[in-house]
Amino acid sequence: MIKIGILGDIGSGKSFISKQFGLPVFNADKEVQKIYKKDKTCFRKLKKKLPKFINSYPVNKKNLIKAIFSNSKNIKKINEIIHPRVRKKLKYFFSENKKKKAVVLDIPLLLENKINDKSYILIFVDAKKKDIDENLKKRKNYNSNLIKRLKKIQTSLKTKKKVSNFIIKNNFRSEEIKKKVKIIKKEIFNL
């Protein structure tokens, strides 16, 4: 099975591009949302680590954001609880799709959490800052301060770009993106 990892800045269009491959997609952000909504053990662990902020189930994302702003070390505490669960879900995703030719991984901290290995094909989504900012402002839970904090724990874009096998320039025009994805898919499957 070919594992395609999508890298890029927050708001660069990674999720949209992931869907264009027409392959099974593991979207880590969606999995995290499910964990917050349905995982009572996760809730209990978060409540124990962050009792001032986490006190009702399902976990309210706004309370997590308050915890992060009160102390930047709280991101690490949250990640220590969440990431093992996401890894477990990823493992299950791989076993569910083991007969597929390829899968796409839309995991924001793919490099940072050392999830990938040398066999992964990495695609960097390159977008202009102006376009990214416009895209982020469309999100209903847009918070520029939170995004700045999250960027601090991420590998630099320069490094992500350097380690990638392919680069897709995202101009947020879906027809052009579909053409670029088609070209990359052809190259990947002809390796």
Please write the tens of the pLDDT for every residue from 74-121: 988 999 999 999 999 999 999 999 999 999 999 988 887 778 888 999
- The torsion angles phi and psi of 4, rounded to 5 degrees, stand at -105, 115
Task: Say yes or no to pLDDT of 19 above 90.
Answer: yes
Closest Cα to residue 177, out of 26, 27, 24, 16? 16
pLDDT number for residue 39: 95
Q: What's the sign of the alpha-carbon dihedral 83, 109, 182, 162?
A: negative
CA distance 28 to 24: 13
Phi, then psi, of 180 in degrees rounded to 5: -65, -40
Mind listing the pLDDT tens digit for each residue in 129-187? 888 888 888 877 777 777 887 777 788 889 999 999 999 999 887 888 999 999 999 99
User: Comparing 10 with 145, which gets the higher pLDDT?
Assistant: 10
As a whole number, mean pLDDT of residues 27-38 equals 94
Going from N- to C-terminal start, the domains of the chain cover 1-24+102-191, 30-96
Give the pTM: 0.89
Q: pLDDT at position 108, please?
A: 86
pLDDT of residue 191: 58
Residue 125 — very low, low, confident or very high, per pLDDT cuts 50/70/90?
very high
Which pLDDT score is estimated for 114?
79
Q: CA-to-CA distance for 40 and 156, rounded, in angstroms?
A: 34
Say whether pLDDT at 28 is over 90: yes
**pLDDT band at residue 31, thresholds of 50, 70 and 90?**
very high
- Which CATH code for domain 1-24+102-191? 3.40.50.300
